[in-house]
Structure 1
Amino acid sequence: MAAYFIPSRIHPTAEQTDLQTATQPVVLGEANAGAAKTTTLALRIAESLARNVEPARILALAFTPEARDVLRQRLLDIGVPWDTVNQLDILTIEDLAMRTLEQLEGEPLKLTLQPRRLKTHVWRAIDAVAAQYAGRPGSRYAELDLRKSEIAVSGYLDTLLRLKARMALQGEHDDDPVEAAEVAGEPLTDYLVALAYETIRLDGAEQAQFRTRFDPTYDLARMLRREPGCAQGFPRYRVIVCDELHDMNEASFVIVEALIRATGAFFTGVGDKHQVIHDQLGASHDYLDFRFRHAFPALRSYPLTTTYRHGPHLTLAIDALMDNRGSSGVPDHTEIRQLHYDTAEECAQRVVEAIKAWKKDKHRLEQCAVLMRDRHQSIALENALIEAGIGYRVPVMKGYMQREEILFLRGVLAITLDDLRAVPSYEVRTAIVEALAAFAGMEAAAGFEKVKHDIAKEPSLLPGFFRGHLGGDALADADTAFADVMRYLAEVAPDSPAGEVLAEVCRRMDVAVVAKRVYVNPYAASVAARSIDGFVAMARKSGLGLAAFWKKINAAEVFASRKREKDFVHLDCVADVKGQEFGHVIMPYLEVNEFPNPLVPARTERNLFYVGVSRTRQRLTLLSPTEAERRSGFLRQMQIAAVAPKADQALRQLEDKVREERPVRLYLTARYEDREEVRQLGAQFDTVRKQWYIDAGLDTGPFQRWL
């Protein structure tokens, strides 16, 4: 079917046009990375506008505010006027849930986002679980691990989010929490705290007493399951589109399915099954296949295989990796550089060299991203960047010196040297006290909050507090591992080798075991343990005494925390940059047991690697060990050398195609008062872009003053 809407600035592929003009009630676009998913949805919306669908009856959904804003921009990019875009409903699913709940409940909906208030609710839930289950002799609940540290609270909230996303808090095992926790794949302690938290939040009834992030989505999904008729309250949309379907979970699917059925709207969703990386939050490729197809048997799928992000050389290498079929619409050679290293520090130096080469080639640093598999890898990388004077940002993950396991070791140094005051940030000082308490096994009593802030205000209180209150009232008689560490540190001189002291602290604490207790989740515990190992190795390599090492890391923190508007590189984990793109992507530590991580399902790891390599436009730098047997298997699967001849040919064909392409329409600058004249000359009016145009084959002579 011929398209009514002709966009500006782009030439849609046949695949995009097929999806733009599809007539089936439910349509899915199965896309590759960079295949202009969002632009294709924008074309679908613009086509509906061109076919006289009122803007107010079109809903565009996304999963994040960033994706929502990108969709709005893509509509403007293809030529939809700003005032028309402003009339569309362009929302996140959370936005839609909040708006719907406000209408159903008849009052404004406010979210509780302050960590302090959320922590209070979690503490109440922990107390409720302790009162109901803890201490029962011979009970299955005898080994509950109920802690109130900041790390524990964060872990409970993460568990709660996973359970709500999967709609796994209520089900057929409600009468047996032990079995329900096993089915949900969560520790029993975390599951019971989640149930108690929800009881508090709902006050034993169905009306929420407070809500935080994702609660509106979850509450609306629960309501739709319990009372399907409330879906009739949705606005009468005629067209609905949804971006990034690979991030869909059960709660959002319940809402979208109910929305389609209640409104009878034409629905179009796009996603990339290979970008499913948030398994724990309920994301699954099933939604792009089985779930939608089962709910809507007449569904029609359309492929979007042409990427507009990178050239054929990377596209064909990605196809080999993913056993996929794709093509590139970019007539450029995307470089793939492979570098090798023997040690973690050497890998970090190779990263610095790659960044300098990018800058030497007259590119902006802000377009360069170093993407890691896990946060523990950033220790060597951050230190190398600092030593090279290269500014960096860590937009999502914390820099290594702000992570709990490293804050604990920094606390050990602060106690030994009695110098917490050297940490300039009040917030970091409080975090150090909290981390010390968590790793030492200290319960967060009601008065601890005040003590924590008192120490941050008056750092000289730190050594006395921990020496006197952890492990018993009398440190000399206490038999805890942390008390043993405190006794050891009391005898350590300020010029003692920092690496040896920290290694001895870790040995006495058995930090790998402590990390499992603190983080519970085996994967999170393993990352924390590796992070600690990296920090100790850094201290050893420095050759500095405690006092000199303490001064060095505090100065490094000041450098790393500077606010930068330009001349910085991005440093982040692959999982946190999905949906973004960069001119140059550098992926370090591509080795066995690092990427892929053996604790994560193989398919998820491959998807994650795919997300990383597909973020780049111009250059991809891959760093792996010198020894071939230590290299990540993903590099071999890309078949970079083998696909190069075919990529060269594809690039030549693209270059020829660009030279041959001509615009389908020529748009005019005719004003309102010129309308009759241009119409008589043969011009036509584009109702979506609100501009006069002529077909490319028409003689342009009479229209010169408007071209």
Structure 2
Amino acid sequence: MTSSRVPLKWTDEQKDIRACKSDRIIVEANAGAAKTTTAAFTIAGLIERGANPKKILSLSFTEPGVKAFEAAFTRIDLPREIVRQLRVGTVEDFCAKRLERLEGIRVRRDKRPEDIREAVIDAIATARERAEARFPGEFSLHGEGGLAVEGLLEEFGQIKGSMAIQRAGEYFSLTPQSASDLGFSFTTLSVLREYERERIAFLDGEGEQARFRYQGDATYDLARLLISDDPPFSWESHPLWVGAEAVVFDEMHDCNWAIFTVLKKLLEVNDGCTFLGVGDRDQVIHARDGADSYFMKDGFGIEISEPKRLPLTLTHRFGESLARPLGSFASKAYTANKDRKSAVEVKVANTAEEVLHVVEDAARSRRGLDEDSDLQDLAVLLRHPGNAVELEHFLIVKSLPYETVGFRSFLERPEVLFIRMLLAVAVDLQAKFGTETLLAAKRATWQFVGGTLPGEGDAVETEQVVDSASEENFRSFVLPRLLRETEHSVSERILGAMALASNNSIADFPKITAALGVNELTRRVFVRSSDVEEVESSIAGLLNVAKRYASINSLLDALLQYDHAAKARSQKESRIVLSTIESSKGLEFDHVIVPGVNAGSFDGNSPDERNLFYVATSRARNLLTVTHATGRASRFLASFLR
């Protein structure tokens, strides 16, 4: 096969990886070091040495990782007829197919929280009833629980991915103390137990059968079967016998105990199968689906066999000026392509407005005289997205288009919608919400207020009334009824805050939120402490935004205008990316801005905190800008300030 493209220049490290004949290899790669391309290059080498492409499994953790594999095969000019024979996919898809073969049916697979929202809410109701019977007062979630669904699902993913309950032992019994010992809340584990009972049915004489699976559940379900004392298969009919000659696992830094359980058994069952794992141990974020650095470090050797470890140090993403401090921060060798030019800026920014000036200057620099210049390659990566409220507000005022990735815009955050609704009712203003925003605001208000309407039966029927109510009907009839049905202390707070707000004085806004006790209300409707902290941050940002308006009425008018502007924004419009750091993994941008790298807020001792900083700073291709407050530079910046 001929190609008009310029042939890739392979480094000595890449050649060594391709030529290595060890049956267990782990490539310890740096950010931007062409991990996936190197994996594809090595697969081509295996095929040249006689491996059957049909018997090579190319696995990744994410769908973008699979697409990266496919792009890499094209980049190295691997013939299409060979690529078609390769088995490329996510670990989750691989496990789902093996389970389908074992179970004889195709189980529904859901990928969006809204797809299984009802199942989680039903589990909350059952878990509350059972928990209150055994441990009164220990179940922390009040009301229907709709606002907690996404957070619960993320925690479920972490618990299942880490196989925390299975690793706790067969005699694990759920109590408030055992939950604390495991590192999770009693409420979360109680809901998970009921959710799993709903998700998996037990058939008389035939074991268990999944009714549906969410992200990660196929891997988890297969891993549980593999460690079962009485698995529903024999060695001869083992679901992992696939005749594999080689397994290549990209994104190995995202490996968790469920994945590793499957991987270990896969290599055991397919005798003679070789393994190549590629990852960057400094990108392990444990809170993400239970990822564990153990497997990139000593775990593989302890659990399977000692691998041959090979480095991949040359980054193609950025130049020496970023590679040098990043290598110093990570305490590992880091080199960069000499032809690659990058720059690093460390700036002082004490307020959200000063951060905006940094972002505004960057946008102006990108656009220059060309208003159509792409802003999509300018990213602001946030450690605490709740702090983005003021920045978003300034971007809107400045007419700088942006999109949020990994978190909701402040215009859509439930606590902001709740407060907007209460303020609108208090000052008796009509039509302060667009159609879509109104629905979200009604639901958020109901969740924070709590209660079910008399005569409506249960939460499902109450939700139907809330959803169908017009703005006027909700304000005049539904909300007052909810306030009568909720706990007295909650209704007192809300009515007191609304009485203060009725003066329409923006100067009273801090008193209004204090009287409302948003922090206490938040702890009733969210489970994760991180969610509570983000709400606190977003309310603090909203208070600062409010100072720019003359009255509560003018603030509400402005927010309504911002709703309309966001809805009218063209999907094709080039926009600045505001993203959580977690959501930026695997991505890269021309210019990355990381604000708020301050002592006390972004310098913790946990591995996740350190790795989040590493991930954020390693996303930049041409320019990295980091900001900190005066005299409060994080210790993470030490290598960047030399």
Q: Using structure 1 for the length normalisation, give the TM-score.
A: 0.82
Between the aligned partners of 2:577 and 2:346, the Cα distance in structure 1 is 20
With 285-294 and 432-441 compared, the bigger mean Cα shift is at: 432-441
Q: 1:635 aligns with which of 616, 634, 637?
A: 637
Between the aligned partners of 2:610 and 2:443, the Cα distance in structure 1 is 36
Q: 2:585 aligns with which of 539, 564, 578?
A: 578
Shift of 1:155: 3.3
Cross-structure match for 2:192? 194
Cross-structure match for 1:26? 24
Cross-structure match for 1:224? 226
Cross-structure match for 2:72? 74
Q: 2:615 aligns with which of 604, 611, 625?
A: 611
How has the CA–CA distance of structure 1 residues 187 and 602 changed in structure 2, closer, same or farther, with 3 Å as cutoff?
Answer: closer
CA deviation map 1:89-139 (0-9, x unaligned):
110011101111111111223214565562332233234334434245xxx
- Say if 1:135 and 1:142, in contact at 8 Å, map to a contact too: no
Cross-structure match for 2:455? none
- Say if 1:134 and 1:142, in contact at 8 Å, map to a contact too: yes
Q: 1:409 aligns with which of 408, 419, 439?
A: 419
Tell me if 1:176 matches 2:167.
no
Between the aligned partners of 1:379 and 1:491, the Cα distance in structure 2 is 24
Q: How does 1:643-658 map to 2 (within 5 A)?
A: none
Query: SS of the residue aligned with 2:101?
Result: helix
**What is the identity, as a one-letter code, of the residue corresponding to 1:212?**
Y
Between the aligned partners of 1:488 and 1:131, the Cα distance in structure 2 is 31
Shift of 1:349: 2.2
Shift of 1:631: 1.7
| C-alpha RMSD over aligned residues | 2.4
Cross-structure match for 1:437? 446
**What is the identity, as a one-letter code, of the residue corresponding to 1:447?**
E
Between the aligned partners of 2:313 and 2:561, the Cα distance in structure 1 is 49
Unaligned segments of structure 2, at least 5 residues:
453-457
Q: 1:235 aligns with which of 238, 242, 246?
A: 242
Between the aligned partners of 2:292 and 2:321, the Cα distance in structure 1 is 29
- Say if 1:165 and 1:281, in contact at 8 Å, map to a contact too: yes
Between the aligned partners of 1:114 and 1:318, the Cα distance in structure 2 is 35
Shift of 1:296: 2.9
- Say if 1:38 and 1:71, in contact at 8 Å, map to a contact too: yes
Unaligned segments of structure 1, at least 5 residues:
1-6, 643-707
Between the aligned partners of 2:301 and 2:214, the Cα distance in structure 1 is 32
Q: How does 1:292-691 map to 2 (within 5 A)?
A: 292-360=300-368, 364-418=374-428, 421-426=431-436, 428-442=437-451, 445-455=459-469, 458-472=470-484, 479-486=488-495, 488-489=497-498, 492-493=501-502, 496-498=504-506, 500-540=507-547, 542-561=548-567, 562-596=569-603, 598=604, 601-625=605-629, 627=630, 629-639=631-641, 642=642
Query: SS of the residue aligned with 1:199?
Result: helix
- Say if 1:371 and 1:588, in contact at 8 Å, map to a contact too: yes
Shift of 1:24: 0.7
**What is the identity, as a one-letter code, of the residue corresponding to 1:190?**
T
- Say if 1:366 and 1:566, in contact at 8 Å, map to a contact too: no
Query: SS of the residue aligned with 1:564?
Result: coil
How has the CA–CA distance of structure 1 residues 34 and 330 changed in structure 2, closer, same or farther, with 3 Å as cutoff?
Answer: farther
How has the CA–CA distance of structure 1 residues 535 and 131 changed in structure 2, closer, same or farther, with 3 Å as cutoff?
Answer: closer
Shift of 1:591: 1.7
Between the aligned partners of 1:141 and 1:484, the Cα distance in structure 2 is 24
Query: SS of the residue aligned with 1:394?
Result: strand
**What is the identity, as a one-letter code, of the residue corresponding to 1:193?**
V
Between the aligned partners of 1:222 and 1:419, the Cα distance in structure 2 is 56
Query: SS of the residue aligned with 1:237?
Result: coil
Shift of 1:493: 4.7
Q: How does 1:144-293 map to 2 (within 5 A)?
A: 144-147=139-142, 148-170=144-166, 171-172=168-169, 174-178=171-175, 179-204=177-202, 205-226=207-228, 227=231, 229=235, 231=238, 233-264=240-271, 265-279=273-287, 281-293=289-301
With 248-257 and 396-405 compared, the bigger mean Cα shift is at: 396-405
Between the aligned partners of 2:195 and 2:511, the Cα distance in structure 1 is 40
- Say if 1:354 and 1:621, in contact at 8 Å, map to a contact too: no
Between the aligned partners of 2:434 and 2:263, the Cα distance in structure 1 is 48
Q: 2:62 aligns with which of 61, 64, 67?
A: 64
- Say if 2:124 and 2:145, in contact at 8 Å, map to a contact too: no
With 290-299 and 480-489 compared, the bigger mean Cα shift is at: 480-489
How has the CA–CA distance of structure 1 residues 538 and 22 changed in structure 2, closer, same or farther, with 3 Å as cutoff?
Answer: same
**What is the identity, as a one-letter code, of the residue corresponding to 2:160?**
K
How has the CA–CA distance of structure 1 residues 234 and 554 changed in structure 2, closer, same or farther, with 3 Å as cutoff?
Answer: farther
Between the aligned partners of 1:622 and 1:314, the Cα distance in structure 2 is 12
Shift of 1:580: 0.3
- Say if 2:484 and 2:491, in contact at 8 Å, map to a contact too: no
- Say if 1:409 and 1:502, in contact at 8 Å, map to a contact too: no
Between the aligned partners of 2:295 and 2:336, the Cα distance in structure 1 is 26
Between the aligned partners of 2:128 and 2:394, the Cα distance in structure 1 is 47
- Say if 2:25 and 2:277, in contact at 8 Å, map to a contact too: yes
Between the aligned partners of 1:349 and 1:497, the Cα distance in structure 2 is 30
- Say if 2:346 and 2:640, in contact at 8 Å, map to a contact too: no
Query: SS of the residue aligned with 2:209?
Result: coil
Between the aligned partners of 2:615 and 2:112, the Cα distance in structure 1 is 32
- Say if 2:141 and 2:526, in contact at 8 Å, map to a contact too: no
- Say if 1:30 and 1:270, in contact at 8 Å, map to a contact too: yes
Shift of 1:317: 1.1
Shift of 1:142: 4.0
Cross-structure match for 2:50? 52
Alignment coverage as a number of residue pairs: 617
Shift of 1:622: 1.6
Q: Using structure 2 for the length normalisation, give the TM-score.
A: 0.90
Query: SS of the residue aligned with 1:332?
Result: coil
Shift of 1:341: 2.4
Q: How does 1:97-116 map to 2 (within 5 A)?
A: 97-113=95-111, 115=113
Query: SS of the residue aligned with 1:380?
Result: helix
- Say if 2:363 and 2:375, in contact at 8 Å, map to a contact too: yes
- Say if 2:98 and 2:239, in contact at 8 Å, map to a contact too: no
Query: SS of the residue aligned with 2:227?
Result: helix
Between the aligned partners of 1:34 and 1:420, the Cα distance in structure 2 is 53
**What is the identity, as a one-letter code, of the residue corresponding to 2:625?**
T
